[in-house]
């Protein structure tokens, strides 16, 4: 995979500018529009993942999160698929989520991480997402993987595979996984009977979509047992941006990527502490080791049929693809950041 390095140039003022391509120029759209209401934004998030998840699967594979290339060697050799697993491993390291844990994977996408935790660590995982389509895809991918495991297993070592148990779990390796369509802002009520029973809450690149971040940390506190871990990876704005940096870099990302006002890393730490959680690891800012994701993604979307599909979805579709440039610009300027953090109850 080669990054579209030609598209990164230096402009006259010496700032790093990320240029458009001939294709993206055809779909130029004003960026940086404010979201109207938070409920309308949530509806658009659901619609976005319902419509785009098949494309995500084709473009990015089963993980809808950044890749992590920690070393020069990794940067030179690791594919984005390997780098996406590197990120999960980093999060495991920083959070000490252990084998066999009962995990709530919040904003689980199409279940890539949930399956990894079940199959590689024997965890019992409940993945929740606001998207109906993602639940459908997550179940399908899980059943396919379970069926493959069952086929590969020797007769003495048979795994159940395919079938969903009474609580909707599908066996995967030594673990099991299930997927539920749920607005995460309701997880406190939904899992009321499981309060204090989860060993870990995992949230990767989903919290930045949630309007009420404080509520998420309160709910995580509710569902975790004492000593339970919260593992978190997310997108942030940098501290102390001036208005111009905010308008140029952050607003187009919030607009195109369907995010309510973005937080800083310190904001998350403060909200988590207010909810009663203790800081365990980080914030570890890994922006420079994940930003390559968007160089790869920008080159992957240089495909006319994808822009035509985005166009058919209206302005949100186009703003989403145009935001890839804003992501690259934000990383290049240091105004947009990526970090992993862990907490303990
Ligand atoms: C960028 S994807 C990350 C997917 C996954 N965590 C991963 O790392 O591959 C963001 C996810 O957040 C979910 N999401 C956004 N808002 C949500 C909400 N209010 N409740 C539940 N899920 C939500 C989306 O449906 C999507 O699955």
Using one digit for the tens of pLDDT, what is the confidence trace for 67-104?
A: 999 999 999 999 999 999 999 999 999 999 999 999 99
Ligand 1 touching residue 50 (CB < 6 A) = no
Ligand 1 touching residue 320 (CB < 6 A) = no
Ligand 1 touching residue 297 (CB < 6 A) = no
pLDDT in tens, 246-283: 999 999 999 999 999 999 999 999 999 999 999 999 99
Q: Please, what's the b/e burial string for 317-345 (b: 16 or more CB within 10 A of its CB; e: otherwise)?
A: bbbbbbbbbbbbbbbbbebbbbbbbbbbb
pLDDT at 210 > cutoff 80: yes
What average pLDDT does the structure give for the chain? 90
Percent of the chain topping pLDDT 90: 74
Contact present, 128 and 107 (Cβ < 8 Å): yes
Q: List the residue whose alpha carbon is closest to atom 27 of ligand 1.
A: 109
In DSSP terms, 336 is beta-bridged to 237
99-108, 198-207, 292-301 — which is least confidently predicted?
A: 292-301
42-51, 139-148, 243-252, 302-311 — which is least confidently predicted?
A: 302-311
Q: Which pLDDT score, from 0 to 100, does residue 69 have?
A: 98
- Output the CA 143–ligand 1 centroid distance in Å: 21
Q: Which pLDDT score, from 0 to 100, does residue 18 have?
A: 67
Domain residue spans in the chain?
21-344
Atom of ligand 1 nearest to the CA of 203: 6
Atom of ligand 1 nearest to the CA of 112: 9
20-34, 87-101, 295-309 — which is least confidently predicted?
A: 20-34
The pair phi, psi for residue 25, each rounded to 5°, is -60, -30
Contact present, 128 and 105 (Cβ < 8 Å): yes
Q: Which pLDDT score, from 0 to 100, does residue 154 have?
A: 59
Higher pLDDT, residue 297 or 111: 111
pLDDT at 5 > cutoff 70: no
pLDDT at 12 > cutoff 80: no
Higher pLDDT, residue 258 or 150: 258
What one-character-per-residue DSSP string does 178-232 give?
Answer: EEEE--GGGHHHHTGGGTT-EEEEEEES-GGG-S-HHHHHHHHHHHEEEEEEEEE
Q: Which pLDDT score, from 0 to 100, does residue 164 have?
A: 76
Helix boundaries (H) for 122-179: 132-152
The enclosing H or E element of 266 equals: helix 265-274
Q: Tokens in use for 330?
A: 């934000």
Ligand 1 touching residue 183 (CB < 6 A) = yes
Rounded Cα distance between 99 and 269, Å, is 26
- Output the CA 107–ligand 1 centroid distance in Å: 3
Ligand 1 touching residue 206 (CB < 6 A) = yes
Q: Which pLDDT score, from 0 to 100, does residue 156 have?
A: 52
Q: Quick one: average pLDDT of 225-239?
A: 98
Q: Quick one: average pLDDT of 32-50?
A: 87
pLDDT in tens, 308-333: 988 888 888 899 998 999 999 999 99
Ligand 1 touching residue 63 (CB < 6 A) = yes
Is residue 150 very low, low, confident or very high in pLDDT (cuts 50, 70, 90)?
confident
Q: List the residue whose alpha carbon is closest to atom 11 of ligand 1.
A: 107
Residues 6+ apart with CB under 8 A from 56: 64, 109, 110
Q: Tokens in use for 301?
A: 């979307």
- Output the CA 49–ligand 1 centroid distance in Å: 8
The DSSP letter of residue 14 is: S
Q: What global pTM score does this model have? A: 0.91
Q: Which pLDDT score, from 0 to 100, does residue 7 have?
A: 38
Contact present, 124 and 103 (Cβ < 8 Å): yes
As to burial, measured by CB atoms within 10 angstroms (0-12 exposed, 13-18 middle, 19+ buried), residue 159 is middle
Atom of ligand 1 nearest to the CA of 62: 9
Closest CA to 190 of 224, 221, 223, 226: 223
The DSSP letter of residue 330 is: H
- What CATH number should be reported for the domain whose range is 21-344? 3.40.50.150
Ligand 1 touching residue 129 (CB < 6 A) = yes
pLDDT at 158 > cutoff 90: no
Rounded Cα distance between 322 and 340, Å, is 26
Ligand 1 touching residue 133 (CB < 6 A) = no
Q: Tokens in use for 71?
A: 């070393």
Q: Quick one: average pLDDT of 217-222?
A: 98
Rounded Cα distance between 154 and 281, Å, is 41
The pair phi, psi for residue 242, each rounded to 5°, is -85, 170
Is residue 38 very low, low, confident or very high in pLDDT (cuts 50, 70, 90)?
confident
Is residue 11 very low, low, confident or very high in pLDDT (cuts 50, 70, 90)?
very low
């Amino acid at each position: 995979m080669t990054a579209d390095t030609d598209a990164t140039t230096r402009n006259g003022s010496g700032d790093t500018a990320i240029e458009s391509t001939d294709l993206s120029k055809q779909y130029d759209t004003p960026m940086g529009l404010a979201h109207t209401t938070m409920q309308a934004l949530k509806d658009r998030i659901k619609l976005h993942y319902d419509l785009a998840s098949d494309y995500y699967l084709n473009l990015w594979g089963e993980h809808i999160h950044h890749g992590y290339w920690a070393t020069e060697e990794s940067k030179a050799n690791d594919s984005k698929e390997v780098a996406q697993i590197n990120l999960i491993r980093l999060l495991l390291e920083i959070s000490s989520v252990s084998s066999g844990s009962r995990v709530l994977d919040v904003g689980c996408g199409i279940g890539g991480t949930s399956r990894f935790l079940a199959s590689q660590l024997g965890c019992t995982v409940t993945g929740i997402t606001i998207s109906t389509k993602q639940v459908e895809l997550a179940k399908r991918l899980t059943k396919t993987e379970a069926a493959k495991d069952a086929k590969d297993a020797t007769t003495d070592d048979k795994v159940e595979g395919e079938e969903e148990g009474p609580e909707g779990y599908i066996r995967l390796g030594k673990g099991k996984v299930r997927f539920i369509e749920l607005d995460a802002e309701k997880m406190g009520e939904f899992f009321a009977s499981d309060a204090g029973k989860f060993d870990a809450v995992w949230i990767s690149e989903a919290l930045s979509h949630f309007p009420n971040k404080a509520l998420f940390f309160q709910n995580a506190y509710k569902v975790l047992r004492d000593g339970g871990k919260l593992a978190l990876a997310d997108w942030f704005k940098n501290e102390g941006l001036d208005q111009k940096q905010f308008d140029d870099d952050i607003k187009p990302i919030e607009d195109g990527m369907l995010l309510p006002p973005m937080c800083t890393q310190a904001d998350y730490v403060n909200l988590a502490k207010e909810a009663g959680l203790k800081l365990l690891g980080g914030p570890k800012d890994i922006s420079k080791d994940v930003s390559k994701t968007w160089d790869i993604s920008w080159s992957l979307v240089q495909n006319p049929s994808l822009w035509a599909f985005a166009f058919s979805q209206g302005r949100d579709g186009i703003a989403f693809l145009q935001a890839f440039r804003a992501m690259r610009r934000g990383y290049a300027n240091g105004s947009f950041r990526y970090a992993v953090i862990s907490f303990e109850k």
